Amino acid sequence: MLGAAACTLSSTVAMAQSDRSLTIYGRLNTGLEVVRASAGDSVTRLSNYRSVLGFRGEEALGGGLRALWQLEGSLALDTGAGSSFTNRDTRVGLAGPWGTAFAGVWTLPYNAATSGFDPFYPTTAGYMAIMGNGSASISDNVQNTSSFDRRQVNQLQYWSPRLGGVTVKLGYALPEETVAGSGARPWLASGSLVYEAEGLVLAAAVEHHEAYQARDTADIGVKLGAAYQWAGARLAAVVERLNYETTSGDLTRQAWYVSGTYRIGQGTLKAGYARAGNGSGRSRARVGAIHSGPSTGASQLTVGYDHELSRRTTLQAFVSQIDNQRQGLHDFAINEAGLSAGQRAGVFTVGMRHSF
């Protein structure tokens, strides 16, 4: 009798759960760093590389329609402070044969289109020091008005189904904030087109920031990327053009990035190089690390090695150096070194990453 009741209960639970799912996941990622800047002594520190904890699931609604949800927050693995439960990719939405639509806080299509081309993303050595003009891990339309490498609050996104290897993603951040003084209501639109087939990835992305620098101004980011993987090796490249409209005129900067990885047994050799050109245009403003004039560019070279202890656990080591030109103002995008104009900085890291 008891056994029959147990079987009935088990069957009921299984049927109740068959149309929905729950996954708990996360990433713990940290490194012991030695940082040396050209104008100061070296610093030894423990740095967090955007560790996360998340919960996601879906429910079958019938007719090919599914409800999707996700809650993801940051973990400060080095200090334990400042963690939040939903300050990373968090959403609720619907998916079907027509694609996926959702609302929440999410990485923008422009960012996501090429972040995977950087084998050091998202560590201190990430290409965001050059590409995208810094990193906004989470922002609204007024908190960070310079970065094109961003996760945005209060937004809607649509992802097309993959057709012929092509996926289109569109994002829109609603004009919920008001700029004090001017009364401007900034907004953002982001889009990407990615083609994938037999080891080849081609990406194109554009992003528009309305009234970020001042009322009735527009900032535009455009980038193209390509990656090809074969026999344990991968090469990738990205070119980008950023244009800002400021009250004193336009400000434009072009940059490019190349990377390579090569698998050897349980390890992977990695390298990346980014180059920022001089800022140009009539603008006298500084937007993030970009300003107009000669010798305002910078370069970043990173080499590293990952050793897999298991499918989920990896030991990592890398060295990265940023070299600013005489008036260059670039710095590591996360875990900054505090650089001033014309300075350079290097970081050497040994660390560990575990995913679950």
Which pLDDT does position 2 carry in this prediction? 35
The parts of the chain modelled with pLDDT lower than 70 are 1-18
**pLDDT per residue as tens digits for the range 42-58:** 999 999 999 999 999 99
Which pLDDT does position 274 carry in this prediction? 98
Query: pTM for the whole thing?
Result: 0.92
Q: How far apart are the first and last CA of the chain?
A: 40
What gap in Å lies between CA 54 and CA 10, rounded to an integer? 27
Phi, psi (rounded to 5 degrees) for 113: -60, -35
Which pLDDT does position 39 carry in this prediction? 75
What gap in Å lies between CA 229 and CA 262, rounded to an integer? 10
**CA torsion angle for 115, 288, 191, 61 (degrees, to 10)?**
70
- Within 13 Å and on the Cβ side, how many CA atoms surround 183? 0
Which pLDDT does position 40 carry in this prediction? 77
Domains and CATH numbers, the chain: 32-355 (2.40.160.10)
Which pLDDT does position 331 carry in this prediction? 97
Distance of CA 58 to the CA centre of its chain: 24
Q: Give the tokens for residue 250.
A: 């336009």
3-state SS record for 7-58: HHHHHHHHHHHCCEEEEEEEEEEEEEEEEEECCCCCEEEEEECCEEEEEEEE
Which pLDDT does position 261 carry in this prediction? 98
**pLDDT per residue as tens digits for the range 58-112:** 999 999 999 999 999 999 888 887 778 889 999 999 999 999 999 999 999 999 9
